Structure 1
Amino acid sequence: MKKFLIFAFLLLLSVGFLQAQDLSIEVSSKDVSMNIGQTMQLGAAVVDASGKKVADREFIFYSTNSRALTVVDSTGMATAVKHGEYDVIVISPGDPQLRSNIKVTVAPAAISKVEIAPLPEHVYAGVTVPLEIKVTDKAGFERPEKVVKLTSSDERKVGIAPFDKLIAKEKGKVMITASVDGVEQKLEVDVLENPIAEIHLKSDMVEGRSGDVFTLTAVALDKHGNEIADAPINFSFTGESFDVSAAPSGLITQEGKFVADEPGLYVLNATCGPAAASVTIQANNRNITRQIDLIGQGSVNDKHTSDLWVWEGVDGRDYAVTGTWGSDGSAYFWDVTDPAGIELIDSVKVDARTVNDVKVSEDGKVAVISREGASNRKNGLVIVDVSNPRDAKIISEFSENLTGGVHNVFIYQNHVYALSAGRKYYSINIEDPANPKIVGEFELDTPGHAIHDVWVEDGIAYSSNWSDGVQLVDVGNGIAGGTPANPVQFASYAYPSGSNHAAFPYRDKKTGKFYVILGDEEFPYGLDPDGRKPGRAAGFLHVIDFTDLKNPKEVAWFKVPLAGSHNFWIEDDILYAAFYNGGVRVVDISGELLGDLNRQGREIAWIVPADPDGYVSNAPFTWGAQPHKGHIFYSDWNSGLWSAKLQPVIPENSKIEEAK
């Protein structure tokens, strides 16, 4: 389950799935075919074991890809937006709850055009030129799966290579034709004689560590020593690993940046036609592994635990609040001043099945908890006075416009940013926490848009919008003139999986790079409806370089084998990430980031909570992690609140003395 369905699926799980043995949902058709733009009413009825329809019941329809197949107002009216195969989940939420599926196939539209991106101004003989080709159908969708046929009017001058590449062989003009399904585009290529005689190449450093970025400077010269500024230089590398059991590995970009995954010697090459140059660099072991020790636990073994928030109270002591999932609407308050002796000090209970998110104001006086699955369907948020966490008191409840359950909230400068029905978020002024009021809202206008999370820092709201990716919105920063009452979006980035679940900004002070880390949430192995079996997730963290706000690009990633990301935090160039069944991962993200951070040895430490007395015994499913005053606090779905300590780096001379 991905995208908007994850939100809906978790919401439905929170109230439990009970499949009746004598009742079932009968849908009008298990397989439906549609065309783009077509609207169709999907039907369903509850029948008994003999197939006889029983009394009318409520139905809820959810699309597994709400951007491609929109199910309007949960009534089963489906509109086909994009081609593909999709599942519609049909729920009857009565007593008992029932579930069924409808498979919908949306036919693709015919191809309308083939476009070849402009080539460099000068195409030199002896150079391979990659083509950028975009195929678009009549519905306006790009069709990258379509195979484009390329032909050359003169193969002696310009040849065709696999994967949409041209081989410029001799000087002269040639016509290239790109065609697919009877639609074609022509492009004239003027090949020039190659003036490049030599390349001068240097690296900004010759020795570093795995994970460090080496920046190359290559200058192409003609036979007179004049620089050819537009020379299409190609970069590549070969290597020799220091470890005979590990193959040399790394990444080099065509902007001339190289990073080694494995320690070793690497030869970095620059070529342009017959001209070539190389430099040799050494990447040493990153050697940043540190010991991490389990310190304490605040056990919750009678229900699932959701998110956490740790803060310093007004009395100078340290506290934490945790939510609960699929249970009785409880939120727990803990004294964590002594991380080895975490103490449960109070709780509040609200009308909800799930308290998914918990946040505390900057001054430590007010907490906000989210509500899902309220008995009266009036979900929303609850504002709690935590000036004395040992006597937490509900100040007010707020549900205006917050329909369908509030999955996530964030407090920033006397405003709560609260999700509504997984579609948008509202800005709610809580200067008077007893009388909150909506002052603004932010919602995308894309087909089937959905949202999972919002995080606010320095006046910028970073919302994770599944297929629409991360949205950067000015809510008081000033970069785009936005305010809480008038949020203004100014940048965004989406990636192909469409699983953007969480986001966290990070600016590296040394390089000046501005990154936003984006996390997936995927459950390809499914989820236990009752939440009583061990779970396993998928998905990873994407590092997006937002230094140029108009041209963000994915530059690095962090994956944990056989585990999936959830919530995460960054402090002092260290990433603390919860990876569900993979526990908490502590990652060095200092300096420029490029490539596979895990393979580069940037993981500092990891710890996986296992509790034989947990709600699900010995089944780690870590929800979130937060550093606080030298400790790492993390919540686990099956076992409650935990604390750990990352031990300091031992200087080399201390290691020598210890060895003696």
Structure 2
Amino acid sequence: MKKFILPFIALLLSAGFLQAQKLSLKVGSENVSMKIGQSMQLEAVVVDAAGKKVADRDFIFYSRNQRALSVVDSTGMATAIRHGEYGVVVISPGEPMLRANITVNIAPAPIAKVAFGPIPDKIYAGVNVPLTLIVTDEAGFERPEVAVSLKSSDESKVAVAPFYKIIPREKGKVTLTASVAGVQGKLDVNVLENPIAKIDLKADMTEGRSGDVFTLTAVAMDKSGNVVKDAPINYSFTGESYDVSAAPSGLMTKEGKFVADQPGLYVLNATCGPAAASVTVSANNRNISRKIDLVGQGSVNNKHTSDFWIWEGVDGKDYAVTGTWGADGTAYFWDVTNPASMMLIDSVKVDARTVNDVKISEDGKICVISREGASNRKNGLVIIDVTNPRDAKVISEFSENLTGGVHNVFIYKKHVYALSAGRKYYSINIEDPTKPRIVGEFELDTPGHSIHDVWVHDGIAYSSNWDDGVQLVDVGNGIAGGSPSNPVQFASYAYPSGSNHAAFPYKDEKTGKFYVILGDEEFPYGLDPDGRKPGRAAGFLHIIDFTDLKNPKEVAWFQVPFAGSHNFWIEGDVLYAAFYNAGVRVVDLSGELLGDLNRQGREIAWIVPEDPDGYIANAPFTWGAQPHKGHIFYSDWNSGLWSAKLRPVVPENTKIQTK
């Protein structure tokens, strides 16, 4: 046979056939330099092995940081918005799919202003004061990385200490000068004589657990016993761990709230100049760990599984729908009434590569799935009748203004909130699911804004907008007069990493605290969606206290080492979070939240879905988790749908009988 095959290959080579099939994607430049405000056409071309341009190939340009660099996919026109180094991925879809990378360096604008942040109304001698210095460039961006030179007009009265702190030494007036790159800012400081002679300190409790918040009340008094209002009290702590192999650790806030990470005995201190007081408290072991058991699996090992939803059907049985990622546009329907024996009962296939998101209406009759990668680029969403999930039927498709791809959707009170091209979301009326219609939209006006997800609860839409953080929008709650046709934003919070990927609200009924949990999504180690390499993510959960809507602040966080968060759910005071390669983590949210929840022992249980027959064998990559009727359901990118169950809490001093 060889004597026939080899001449045939030689013939193909001589004709240039095989050479022409070896295609590659070339970019105009792998390293591009730009200035803020500048626009530039990014160039790409597909060539064969001989370097000859191949015609009729499409290109997709994608910025890894949309806030900093806006790229028009259809043309590759880049506009520099913020300084820094950013990556652009260029993809040429088709057979074969080709990729290339461009690094864009955006030079910072010159410094325009240096200013002092707020300082206390009264500055007393002997009480150190930290300063906040705000450096702004000509493009309007804050530049915290720029070092500032700080000087005092009279070091004998106010000395300057490292890290922008000042030491008031004696009564008098001085001028502080902050300088950077020839730009100056000035602040006049009036130091008062310190009247404080005594501090009365109390704690709201003397004994608690790791993770419990101890609240201090400090009252400063002068020599005559009069209360000195607004005294600048500084708080600190020392401790001794009950476990000799664990170092005592915790967190003390400027307001006098303390939480212990490790069980131990802690001394809480309050000082104001020479005046000082302390109280001793005990933090015992939280002791909330529970066993978790694997119950069942609905295996999908021939393609990636995306999001899922569990619901009770109109017939009283329990069902699930799962999406697929980077495949053939299939959504699967499952009977999960018996979580130990989940059964695939139907599927719907649509024109898409990815069905990223799936949602079910409150009455259990309507399913909406998102579409990305449609062959005709008309992505949008698909509305499905799931009154009988064993015979799921497509009711209608909707792609108006959604042709850029719908990454996520949410159903709330006969409206679908659907993302459009990663920039905004539309509210779509589906009172008549055969005739969906757009009635409203929400989009930010910040430079390079983007959006990943929207979740609606109690008439409030929580959208995760990457660098712009979470946006709270009234779509029917009434708090800001909003409605589906008139979304009104009334609060927001962003954090420095700019990785806000998901959000979930949580109201603690006992403390009255209102939190919004924000999740990161980061892939610093890369991701191989088309290959067979296990993935590893990064990022964690940020707990934001929104009790004061005008002054939200990050108060706590939950992090799993060497893993990254994805989607999550809260039921009661328990958090169920998917952490990609670290599986599902079950976390106690009871009481006031402060500090590092994982170090405090608030993790109740965890389970990792390892499947030797998975799309990638034994490579857990958990997408989301949802509690339902006493079970925990979760989807995994490489292995499908799973179920687990927490074992009951065993009361202390209870003996477990064994046969």
Same fold at TM > 0.5: yes
Deviation at 1:659, TM superposition (A): 10
| 1:457 corresponds to | 457
Equivalent AA in structure 2 for residue 467 of structure 1: D
The alignment-based identity, stated in percent, is 81
Distance 1:118 1:332 in 2: 56
Deviates more, 1:394-403 or 1:497-506: 394-403
- The answer to whether the 8 Å contact 2:131/2:165 transfers is yes
Distance 1:52 1:310, change over 3 A: same
Determine the C-alpha separation between the residues in 2 that align with 1:529 and 1:571.
32
Work out whether residues 170 and 191 of structure 1, in 8 Å CA contact, stay in contact via their aligned partners in 2: yes
Aligned to 2:51: 51
The match for 1:470 is 470
Greater Cα offset, 332-341 or 453-462: 332-341
Q: CA deviation at 1:658?
A: 5.1
Higher mean displacement: 57-66 or 472-481: 57-66
Q: Which letter does structure 1 place at the counterpart of 2:496?
A: P
Whole-angstrom CA distance in 2 between matches of 1:174 and 1:394? 74
**Is the counterpart of residue 493 in structure 1 residue 493 in structure 2?**
yes
SS of the aligned residue for 2:654 comes to helix
Instruction: Tell me the residue number matched to 2:332.
Output: 332
Deviation at residue 77 of structure 1 after TM alignment: 1.5
8 Å contact from structure 1 (residues 36, 81) kept in 2: yes
Distance of 1:451 and 1:458 partners within structure 2 = 21
Query: What letter corresponds to residue 563 of structure 1 in structure 2?
Result: A
> Which residue identity does 2:33 align to in structure 1?
S
What CA distance in whole angstroms lies between the structure 2 residues aligned with 1:327 and 1:62? 20
Match of 1:38 in 2: 38
Secondary structure of the corresponding residue to residue 26 of structure 1 = strand
Where does residue 228 of structure 1 map in the other structure?
228
- The yes-or-no answer on 1:208 pairing with 2:212 is no
Q: What letter corresponds to residue 631 of structure 1 in structure 2?
A: H
- What is the match of residue 309 of structure 2? 309
> What are the Cα deviations for residues 496-540 of structure 1, in whole angstroms up to 9, with x where unaligned?
111111000000000000000000011111111414221111110
C-alpha deviation, 1:565, in angstroms? 0.6
Whether contact under 8 Å (1:567, 1:624) holds in the other structure is yes
How far apart are the structure 2 equivalents of 1:295 and 1:72?
47
**Cα distance in 1 between the residues matched to 2:657 and 2:162:** 59
> 2:393 matched to which residue of 1?
393
C-alpha change, 1:633 and 1:464, in structure 2 (3 Å) is same
Offset, 1:97: 2.1
Query: CA 1:373/1:509 → structure 2, altered by over 3 Å: closer, same or farther?
Result: same
What are the equivalent positions in structure 2 for 1:287-298 lying under 5 Å apart?
Answer: 287-298=287-298
Q: Which amino acid aligns with 2:371?
A: R
Q: TM-score when scaled to structure 1?
A: 0.95
- Which digits, 9 at most, give the CA deviation of each residue in 1:274-313, with x for residues without a partner? 0000000000000000111111111112111111111111
Q: Please say which of residues 34-43 and 362-371 is displaced more in the overlay.
A: 34-43
CA distances 1:160-201 after superposition (whole Å, capped 9, x unpaired): 101000000111111111111111112121111110001010
For 1:323, the equivalent position in structure 2 comes to: 323
Kept in 1, the 8 Å contact 2:295–2:340? The answer is yes
Whole-angstrom distance in 1 between the partners of 2:466 and 2:438? 25
Q: CA separation in 1, counterparts of 2:595 and 2:557?
A: 6
| Cα distance, 1:104 vs structure 2 | 1.6
1: CA distance, partners of 2:494 / 2:113 = 24
- Counting only pairs closer than 5 Å after superposition, residues 43-442 of structure 1 correspond to structure 2 as 43-442=43-442
**How far does residue 100 in structure 1 lie from its aligned partner after superposition?**
1.6
Residue aligned with 2:244, SS: coil
Distance 2:349 2:55 in 1: 35
Q: TM-score, normalised by structure 2?
A: 0.95
Q: Tell me which residue corresponds to 1:10.
A: none
**Which residue is 1:571 aligned to?**
571
Q: Deviations over 1:447-487 (max 9, x none)?
A: 11111111000000001111111110000000011100111
Q: 1:72 to 1:376 in 2, by over 3 A?
A: closer
User: Is residue 291–residue 647 contact of structure 1 (8 Å, CA) maintained in 2?
Assistant: yes
Q: Which residue of 2 aligns with 1:14?
A: none
What is residue 502 of structure 1 aligned with on the other side?
A: 502
Determine if contact 1:418/1:426 at 8 Å carries over to the other structure.
Answer: yes
Alpha-carbon shift at residue 21 of structure 1 (Å):
7.7
The Cα of 1:25 is off from its aligned counterpart by 2.3
- Kindly state the Cα deviation for residue 55 of structure 1 after the two structures are TM-superposed: 2.2
Alignment correspondent of 1:25: 25
Amino acid of the residue matched to residue 244 of structure 1?
Answer: V
Q: 1: distance between equivalents of 2:304 and 2:224?
A: 73
| Matched residue, 1:484 | 484
Q: How far did 1:49 drift?
A: 2.7
Distance in structure 2 (CA, Å) of the matches to 1:512 and 1:503 = 19
Distance across 1 between alignment mates of 2:535 and 2:505: 29
Q: CA deviation at 1:374?
A: 1.3
Residue by residue, what CA displacement relative to the aligned partner does 1:323-381 show, whole Å, maximum 9, x if unpaired?
11111211111111111111111111111111111111100111111111112211111
CA deviation vs aligned residue, 1:376-430 (integer Å, no higher than 9, x gap): 2111111111111111111111111112211111110001111111111111111
Report the secondary structure of 1:136's partner residue: strand
Measured in 1, the distance between the counterparts of 2:658 and 2:228 equals 57
The farther-off stretch of 573-582 and 366-375 is 366-375
Amino acid at match of 2:186: K
CA contact (8 A) 2:21 2:48 kept: no
Aligned partners of 2:581 and 2:434: how far apart in 1? 39
Contact 1:332–1:346 (8 Å) recurs in 2: yes
- 8 Å contact 2:116–2:133 — kept in the other structure? yes
Deviations 1:566-620 (A, max 9, x none): 1100001000001111000000001100000000000000001111111211111
* Structure 1 counterpart of 2:581, one-letter code: N
Does the 8 Å CA contact 1:462/1:473 hold for their aligned counterparts? yes
Q: Does structure 2 retain, via aligned residues, the 8 Å contact 1:62–1:74?
A: no
Rounded to whole Å, the distance in 2 between the matches of 1:628 and 1:281 is: 39
Q: C-alpha separation between the residues in 1 aligned to 2:73 and 2:97?
A: 20
Tell me how far 1:270 sits from its aligned partner. Answer: 0.3
Report the Cα distance in structure 2 between the residues aligned to 1:385 and 1:45, rounded to whole angstroms.
44
- Alignment of 1:550 onto 2:550: yes
User: Unpaired segments of 5 or more residues in structure 2?
Assistant: 1-19
Cα distance in 2, alignment partners of residues 178 and 243 from structure 1: 47
What is the CA distance between 1:94 and its match in structure 2?
3.7
- Which whole-Å CA distance do the structure 1 matches of 2:390 and 2:94 have between them? 39
Q: Secondary structure at the match of 1:593?
A: coil
Cα deviation 1:56-109 (Å, max 9, x = unaligned): 532222222221121235312211111111122222224322222222211111
Q: Is the 8 A contact 2:62 2:73 kept in 1?
A: no
Distance 1:148 1:301 in 2: 56
Question: Structure 2: how far apart are the matches of 1:121 and 1:521?
Answer: 41
Distance 2:594 2:658 in 1: 36
CA distance in 1, matches of 2:207, 2:609: 38
The whole-number CA distance in structure 1 between the counterparts of 2:635 and 2:514 is: 28
8 Å CA contact 2:475, 2:486 repeated in 1: yes
- Residue 646 of structure 1 corresponds to 646
Q: Which of the pair has the greater relative contact order for Cα pairs under 8 Å at 6+ separation?
A: 1
Which region of structure 1 is more displaced relative to structure 2, 644-653 or 247-256?
644-653
One-letter amino acid of the structure 2 residue matched with residue 304 of structure 1: H
Output the CA distance in 2 between the equivalents of 1:618 and 1:659.
Answer: 33
Q: Matches of 1:50 and 1:621 in 2, distance apart?
A: 41
8 Å contact kept, 1:45–1:56: no
Q: 1:527 is matched with which residue? A: 527
> CA–CA distance in 2 between the matches of 1:383 and 1:392?
10
